[in-house]
Amino acid sequence: MGQRQAHLSRVKNQTFDLLVIGGGITGAGVARDAARRGLRVALLERADLASGTSSRSSKLVHGGLRYLEQYEFGLVFESVSERRVLMDIAPHLVKPLAFVFPVYESFGRAALIDIGLWLYDGLSLFRSPKIHKRLGKKATAKVEPCLTTVELKSAELYYDCATDDARLTLETALDAMRQGAQVVTWCPVVGFLHDERGRAMGVTVHDQLSDERFDVRAGAIVNATGPWIDGLRGLAGDTAGRPLLRPTKGVHIVVDHAKLPVEHAVVLIHPDDERVLFAIPWGERTYIGTTDTDWDGDPALVCADLSDVDYLIHASAHFFPDNPLHYEDVTATWAGLRPLINQEGVHESQISREHQVDVEPDGIVTVAGGKLTTYRRMAAEVVDKSLDVLRMSGWEFEPPRHADTAKEPLPGAVGWPKDDDDSQLVDDIVTASGGHLEHDTARYLAGSHGMLGLDVAVLAAARPELAARLVPGRPEVMACVEWAVTRELAATVDDVLQRRLPLFFKDTDQGLGCAEAVATHMAGLLGWEPARRQAELERYRHEVAVSRAWRDELS
């Protein structure tokens, strides 16, 4: 627990310029921006980094083509601009992805789609990974042979980007840490401290791993807790009026790629409600999503139910009738909540993805709404607002410098090849491991850890037992677990298997087969007693069971 304990000690014993509550992509972005400006920053997260919405998205960095239909041109322009920035600062995590948008007779808006895509490319200043093009019926059938050709007229081939949302969040937080930010997970805020004027000046925290409570003080506080925003506002006494959020649930299902062998991300218009969703190739898997339904329960309890799975299977069957999916084909699910701004009388799928930054009566800065792609700009706006709060309160702090978050690479991209060809990096990882890591593992590390994959390889070179595969036939090795615990703030088995590694979603048994070995290795690193090791295993098994709970409805 060395890394966590060091951060925890500083959080307990120092006063900060800015305290960020929430370790999702927005909170991590705020911490990175503020730390790069030279502020003294602490970030507190109730569970693990990216454990909420930020690891349960559609895993896309995109301009939001469908927002053109809602005339949100500003949001699209901002999004396509940020897509380019993220490709530059995190090329190992944000990678071009081709989309096929089939147009059928029943849809009847082929011309509008083509015009929309020219506008989409234009708003990106024609800096998309590639300019879109129209495909005829035969060409569409050739590039996506599984797609139904009944009433098919044509298709548009365009480009956005795929990402690993959890690792994008993690590396953003790691860069904040490199700039001096203190980041502590598994520490929910349970109360607020106010001065005699009623201004928020700190929080009371419960360390879930030690069952200890302590106070953290700061000149300004940011509420970046996503779906938990209104709950935290209530805790601080800032809910004078209606809730700020209208959370909506988005569910994805995962199947073996052989069951749905799409070659591109395919845009689907659901036959029941015309909602846009996607079937996306994901290595040896394909995932389909997302749903969009209102949610008014505890954000921590969100999960897929049978109606969600049925909705996605039905859409897939409509477009891929020769590859029908069955319940037993679903190997994993994930569900997340979009922290959307409350808009009365608007259908769930029509709620704007714009963000909002408010200063509460007690000075807490609250950020709500927005989307993964635009997190960096949102973060800069939040830090600007926080600086205003500090100045108005008379807080003394060093004059901020430029953050340069649009230019400075994330940790795994430092030294990344300028031509984006990582083949030499893959070879270098094998060499750095002393030959103990095989090519597929090196390829995985290059694509997930970037240049830091070399450091993971060095662990395997020094201790060859760390080159052991976690799952036969899969590329993840025990050195990834070691790195996650010692360098990436992983504190639980779930942290490792669900967010540092993709086994929760990509392994056929969701990592259950290797969970004991992972728990044993973590116990040695973190000094767990047998009871704690067993509790960690049970916690992970529970998370897997929750993701499969929809199956209980079948009986």
Q: Where are the beta strands (DSSP E) in 257-315?
A: 265-269, 276-282, 285-289, 293-294
**Which residue, 345, 376, 409, sits at the end of a domain?**
345
The answer for residues whose C-beta is within 8 angstroms of residue 215's C-beta and 6 or more apart is: 193, 202, 203, 204, 205
Residue with tokens 């960096």: 376
Q: Please give the helix or strand (H or E) that residue 295 lies within, else none.
A: none
> Quick one: 179 and 219 in the same domain?
yes
Domain of 519: which CATH number? 1.10.8.870
> Quick one: 48 and 174 in the same domain?
yes
- d(CA 398, CA 272) in angstroms, rounded, equals 57
**The pLDDT value given to residue 344:** 65
Tokens of 348: 């769930």
Vertex 192, ends 190 and 198: CA angle to 5°? 160
Residue 275 lies in a domain: yes
Q: Are 145 and 70 in contact (CB under 8 A)?
A: no
Per-residue pLDDT, averaged over 524-536, amounts to 97
Tokens of 213: 């409570």
Tokens of 18: 């800015």
Number of residues assigned to the chain: 555
> Quick one: 526 and 447 in the same domain?
yes
Q: In this predicted model, what pLDDT tens digit does every residue of 143-178 receive, in sequence order?
A: 999 999 999 999 999 999 999 999 999 999 999 999
> Quick one: 432 and 530 in the same domain?
yes
**The pLDDT value given to residue 240:** 58
Greater confidence (432 vs 65) lies with 432
> Quick one: 426 and 331 in the same domain?
no
pLDDT greater than 80 at residue 108: no
Handedness of CA 465, 470, 476, 481 (dihedral sign): negative
Q: Are 209 and 251 in contact (CB under 8 A)?
A: no
Greater confidence (401 vs 107) lies with 401
Domain of 298: which CATH number? 3.30.9.10
- d(CA 516, CA 181) in angstroms, rounded, equals 33
**The pLDDT value given to residue 111:** 52
Query: 179-203 burial by CB neighbour count: b if 16+ within 10 A, else e?
Result: bebbbbbbbbbeebeeeeeebbbbb
Vertex 543, ends 538 and 547: CA angle to 5°? 145
Vertex 172, ends 351 and 208: CA angle to 5°? 85
Residue 371 lies in a domain: yes
> Quick one: 422 and 436 in the same domain?
yes
Lowest-pLDDT choice from 64-73, 322-331, 375-384: 64-73
Domain of 230: which CATH number? 3.50.50.60
> Judging by DSSP bridges, how do beta strands 94-104 and 265-269 pair with one another?
parallel
The answer for residues whose C-beta is within 8 angstroms of residue 62's C-beta and 6 or more apart is: 79, 83, 160, 161, 373
> Quick one: 136 and 197 in the same domain?
no
Question: Residue 123: which pLDDT band, with cuts at 50, 70 and 90?
Answer: low
Q: In this predicted model, what pLDDT tens digit does every residue of 497-522 receive, in sequence order?
A: 999 999 999 999 999 999 999 999 99
Question: Residue 63: which pLDDT band, with cuts at 50, 70 and 90?
Answer: confident
Q: Is the peptide bond before 290 cis (omega within 30 degrees of 0)?
A: yes
- d(CA 285, CA 265) in angstroms, rounded, equals 12
Q: In this predicted model, what pLDDT tens digit does every residue of 334-346 receive, in sequence order?
A: 999 999 988 665 6
Q: Please give the helix or strand (H or E) that residue 153 lies within, else none.
A: strand 152-163
pLDDT greater than 60 at residue 212: yes
> Quick one: 251 and 238 in the same domain?
no
Q: Of the candidates 64, 143, 67, which has an alpha carbon nearest to the alpha carbon of residue 98?
A: 143
Residue 404 lies in a domain: no
- Mean pLDDT for the chain overall: 93
Tokens of 128: 């998309």
User: How many domains, in total, are found in the chain?
Assistant: 3
The domain of 460 spans: 417-554
Residue 445 lies in a domain: yes
> Quick one: 427 and 518 in the same domain?
yes
Tokens of 410: 């994330």
- Taking CA atoms, 43 is separated from 169, 225, 227, 522, in Å, by 13, 11, 17, 24
Q: What is the dihedral of CA 278, 279, 280, 284, to 10 degrees?
A: 160
Residue 220 lies in a domain: yes
The answer for residues whose C-beta is within 8 angstroms of residue 401's C-beta and 6 or more apart is: 36, 37, 38
Q: Whole-prediction pTM value? A: 0.95
> Quick one: 424 and 534 in the same domain?
yes
**Which residue, 329, 345, 361, sits at the end of a domain?**
345
> Quick one: 441 and 527 in the same domain?
yes
Vertex 200, ends 206 and 364: CA angle to 5°? 95
Rama region for 510: left / alpha / beta (φ>0; ψ in -120 to 50; rest): left
Residue 78 lies in a domain: no
Residue 73 lies in a domain: no
Residue-wise DSSP of 43-91 = EE-SSSTT-SGGGSS--EE---GGGGGGT-HHHHHHHHHHHHHHHHH-T
Question: Residue 106: which pLDDT band, with cuts at 50, 70 and 90?
Answer: confident
> Quick one: 171 and 315 in the same domain?
no
- d(CA 58, CA 266) in angstroms, rounded, equals 13
Residue 8 lies in a domain: yes
Counting residues of the chain whose pLDDT is more than 70, the rounded percentage is: 93
- d(CA 178, CA 318) in angstroms, rounded, equals 49
Q: In this predicted model, what pLDDT tens digit does every residue of 5-44 receive, in sequence order?
A: 999 999 999 999 999 999 999 999 999 999 999 999 999 9
Greater confidence (237 vs 442) lies with 442
- DSSP at 494: H
Q: Are 539 and 499 in contact (CB under 8 A)?
A: no
Q: Are 147 and 139 in contact (CB under 8 A)?
A: no
Most confident of 98-107, 111-120, 231-240, 409-418: 409-418
